[in-house]
Amino acid sequence: MSRFSNVIQRKGTRSVKWDYAEHLYQDKEILPMWVADMDFQAPQEVIDSLKQRVEHGIFGYTMPDEEIKRSIIDWIAKRHQWNIESDWITYSPGVIPSLHMIVQALTEEQDNILIQTPVYPPFYSVIKEHQRNVVKNSLIYSEGMYSIDFEDFENQIVKNNVKMFILCNPHNPVGRVWKEEELKKMGEICVKHNVIIASDEIHADLILDEHKHIPVASVSNQLNNQTVTCYSPTKTFNLAGLQASYIVTSDKEKRESIKKNFDKQGMHMLNTLGLTAMENAYIHGEEWLEELLETIQSNRDFAAEQFRKHTDLIKAVPLEGTYLLWLDCRSLNLSQAELKSFMQKQAKVGLNDGVSFGEEGKGFMRMNLAAPQEIIENGVQRIVDAVRQKTTS
């Protein structure tokens, strides 16, 4: 039996996905398929390294050294063919804290910041909470595929004198892994209009089929200078509760400005166990990751096939990267409130509301596929049965 088919009880572990779901959906029977973490154990080598560290029993201030940096540099070079330097790395407890710091460090109040919607909800708050303004470049959704409206991308930048673009690559929730041509085209526009790119690449390792993740900063030297990139092993290896991530910035001025902002908040250290897990995941986790990707692919194919076979009212948008399946439920002809209630009360599955990603998400829901197949089968079956009941009643 594969380590990815083992169903492990998560209730009672203070899990946001499982324990908070009961509070959120007010229903004990809800199957949680929402927040982006996985129902899988981390690689055994990571668990063992944490046990060993815990056994030591002293958890004093901990210093990330060059060996930890080496594990990061080697991982990025091997998986993404990008050679980064040790000095370019700044640690952060998470990608969201990083984005808050980046916005504060590299833009001014009232500046305009562009995002490609629908997009991960905190992208809105990291802009608005610092009195900056959201400028939207809505993605095009046509014939079941998402693409970029480049003309609108440049128009929005020029019209609004945009200072920063927060890129999501791979894109949550639409599941696109942006191609080199797409990144190049956006990058050239950003360089031309001097727009800083804050690239959230937290899903970089979760790439399916033959798709390839390209760090936008690796596309050209100019783009490297123009970009700050956020990475983390926490999505890849299911370590989100350990809170360890980092920002890669080649440009010294931008890097120092970001560091200064961390200092201002008194944030200059990661937690001991987060650092241990990060290093060991990068050194030992590759085989585990390959097996994980096969599991996600198989869950994606299963879910898409079941929807195709049993209902033409729900379509799975093709998933190139991430483990988050974007479901087009518009043919159900329900208002968003009705759609949410349908998934919750009839199907009894806990999905993310499409509109939380922006108004473009109306008629959509997001399903987390990072669970043993048994759970995915259960969730998909619940939805298919509920649709059947709705259409026959």
Tokens of 363: 């008629």
240 binding ligand PLP? (CB under 6 A)? yes
Quick check: 116 binds ligand PLP (CB under 6 A)?
Answer: no
The sign of the dihedral angle between the CA atoms of 110, 260, 221, 64 is negative
Q: Which of 116, 156, 234, 344 contacts ligand PLP by CB under 6 A?
A: 234
182: number of Cβ within 10 Å: 17
Question: Which residue's CB atom is positioned nearest to ligand PLP?
Answer: 94
CB of 95 to ligand PLP, least distance (A): 4
Alpha helices in the chain (DSSP H): 21-25, 44-56, 66-80, 95-106, 122-128, 150-160, 180-192, 221-226, 233-236, 252-264, 272-284, 286-310, 336-341, 373-392
Q: Which stretch binds ligand PLP (CB under 6 A): 83-91, 182-190, 232-240, 267-275?
A: 232-240
Binding flag, residue 120, ligand PLP (CB under 6 A) = yes
Binding residues among 45-64 for ligand PLP as defined by CB under 6 A: none
Q: According to the binding rule CB under 6 A, does residue 95 interact with ligand PLP?
A: yes
Q: Find the binding residues for ligand PLP in span 329-388 (CB under 6 A).
A: none
Is residue 311 a contact partner of residue 327, using CB atoms and an 8 Å limit? no
- Spatial CA neighbour of 118 closest among 357, 342, 381, 389: 357
Structure token pair of residue 204: 């970089």
> SS3 for 140?
strand
Residue 94 within binding range of ligand PLP, rule CB under 6 A: yes
Choices 88-96, 152-160, 308-316, 341-349 (CB under 6 A): range interacting with ligand PLP: 88-96
Contact indicator for 378, 345 with CB cutoff of 8 Å: no
Residues in contact with ligand PLP, counted by CB under 6 A, come to a total of 13
Distances in Å between the alpha carbon of 356 and those of 89, 164, 317? 32, 22, 18
* Distance separating alpha carbons of residues 7 and 126, to the nearest angstrom: 35
Considering the complex, what minimum distance in angstroms separates the CB of residue 308 from ligand PLP? Answer: 26
Output the smallest distance, CB 259 to ligand PLP, in A. 18
Please say which residue, 154 or 279, places its beta carbon nearer to ligand PLP. 279
Does 90 bind ligand PLP (CB under 6 A)? Our answer is no
Binding site for ligand PLP (CB under 6 A): 36, 94-96, 120, 168, 172, 200, 202, 232, 234, 240, 245
